Structure 1
Amino acid sequence: MSDDQIDGFNAWAEAVLKVVGVSGMSEEQVIPTWPEGVDGPALTVGMVRAAHARYAGGGEAERPLGAVHNGRVLMGGLENNYDFVCVTGPLRGCVEWAELQRCFTAMAEYIEHPPAQPKVPDGWKTIVQMNTDSYEGWCWIVHKGRVTEAYRDHEYRYRFGRHSQNVYMTECITYVMPWPYPEAPAQQGGGHE
């Protein structure tokens, strides 16, 4: 989406969410967005709230509970309202359909009941917290479960040394402890690099 489209969506979403707040609509309630007689996809309050959080940059986006609800409704409708047939017979006997349902159920459970985030050890920051910090210098990092020392430059890259060409992939770093650190942190699965 372009910046103008995002701005337009955010303005619309803020108006919708203002009405939702006044009227007390639930997160699963469908917002009437389609003209009479047009059968468009259902858009719930929860879906609008999650999209607005993502596009407005208001922190972490909410879990897509509306999408989970709609997915369950649509999958049930496909199985019960249509005469889809595969090689083995009706859709409900198809191996691929059973696997799709199993995969969707696993994703839905993860979205509805996400695992608890581990507590960040004292003195450490998550990589997300560090990305909002302008810190440049030496730090301990937990990289792929191992603790090592690295240099963080002004472009948020982590290296073995200040001028090293070996740059760590930040998605593999879980925690960072900027200098000065009290002592070498305990190893988390494999020794010191």
Structure 2
Amino acid sequence: MGARGLIAISPILYNAPFWTCTDLRRTQLTQADAPRYALRKYRDATNNTDFAPIIRYAEVILNQAEAEARQGNDARGLLLLNAIRNRAVAAADQYTTLTGTNLIQAVLNERRIELVGEGFRWDDIHRLSPTPYSPRVGGGIPAKYLSTQIAITQYSCGAGTLLTPSVPAITYTNQLFLWPIPAIEVANNPTLAAQQNPGY
């Protein structure tokens, strides 16, 4: 397959109703690779000449769109969101009148699609907990599938969750939501011992 085929796309995202079936990123950036769909970003696997970007302009635009929407600048936020979204979706699927919390949620959904497999999801889960925009009600890490649960038949555009994930969610208050301060850091700076995250 080449590219970043080692990164499987979860059926939870692939089947999400907010990722339209006509979105070009479905065909351009993903590929069926049984038993899953895998990522096709950065495809020059033969020569290894594709760069893995540290900062993508699309992320900068989506950051600005979210900031504008959170400040109540809906028109500007929508314009920025559409600068990213409209290059991949059909005219009928373009946003025209989103405002307030719906606009913020649309920007966050667009981040999931546009930045899939690029390492942003973990940070987004943590920064959004326990706000109303958390991917898990009440905050925390959402449930997910084991790799052994995934089959190509569970990928169906717009179908939602077809199977109950086996890896349970982690609540916002669970010690596992935060990682421990590394022991080497505590050894080098003993004052950190009193600041260790709960449960460690």
Q: Is the TM-score greater than 0.5? A: no
Bigger RCO of structures 1 and 2 (CA < 8 A, at least 6 apart):
2
Q: Give TM-score, length-normalised by structure 1.
A: 0.27
Q: Which has the higher strand share?
A: 1
Larger radius of gyration: 1
TM-score by length of 2: 0.27
